[in-house]
A and B are shown apart, each in its own frame.
Chain A
Amino acid sequence: KQEVTQIPAALSVPEGENLVLNCSFTDSAIYNLQWFRQDPGKGLTSLLLIQSSQREQTSGRLNASLDKSSGRSTLYIAASQPGDSATYLCAVGHQTGANNLFFGTGTRLTVIP
């Protein structure tokens, strides 16, 4: 079964700092990897989707990379802002068997003004 791990579980940084969130998965047979943002008490907002054939995707201050062979992805946030404070979840779409996404437990980010 696919296992997805996110480290660290929580992170606090001062405003303006660049930061990296990590996601690892145990089975490299994936179609894609997706990063989501979740605000307290809210649903999931998709940030970036990387297909298995891609190495990275960028959107504004966000850059996500994917190393499928080593089972790792990173989400880089440049020039962090207090509004970036949220929980960030990664999820993988597995190639064989399952149709659903497998999620990590998330990294709770706090950007201190």
Chain B
Amino acid sequence: GAGVSQTPSNKVTEKGKYVELRCDPISGHTALYWYRQSLGQGPEFLIYFQGTGAADDSGLPNDRFFAVRPEGSVSTLKIQRTERGDSAVYLCASSSYGGSFYEQYFGPGTRLTVT
């Protein structure tokens, strides 16, 4: 079956602009995660959805970052007033149920470059 997909694969934007990154999880997976991976680092957790609600947003770095999952499937990560430090690969993962007990399946990521 289809895996996790993310669009766009690459996004270049100017400092101060608004961007949206999309994640399509594996069909039927109730849990969805966003991670951010800076160059040379491992992925770091941003936010976790169980169904439509954000169950844990403790990893969001500041209030410029926001994510939604209105119908419990597709999720959008939104970044306002982008800064050069936001440049990174944004990874999405889904799992059949929430919680770190269940295996997470990752998408290919969106590489965001802020110029």
Distance, CA A40 to CA B9, complexed state (A): 14
By the criterion CB–CB under 8 Å, are B99 and A99 in contact?
yes
Distance in angstroms from A22 CB to nearest chain B CB is: 15
By the criterion CB–CB under 8 Å, are A98 and B56 in contact?
yes
By the criterion CB–CB under 8 Å, are A93 and B101 in contact?
yes
Q: Which of B40, B48, B109 contacts A99 (CB 8 A)?
A: B48
By the criterion CB–CB under 8 Å, are A100 and B106 in contact?
no
By the criterion CB–CB under 8 Å, are B42 and A91 in contact?
yes
| Binary flags per residue of A1-45, CB closer than 8 Å to B gives 1, else 0 | 000100000000000000000000000000110101000011111
By the criterion CB–CB under 8 Å, are B45 and A100 in contact?
yes
Q: Does A101 contact B (CB under 8 A)?
A: yes
A residues adjacent to B (C-beta < 8 A): 4, 31-32, 34, 36, 41-46, 49, 89, 91-95, 98-106
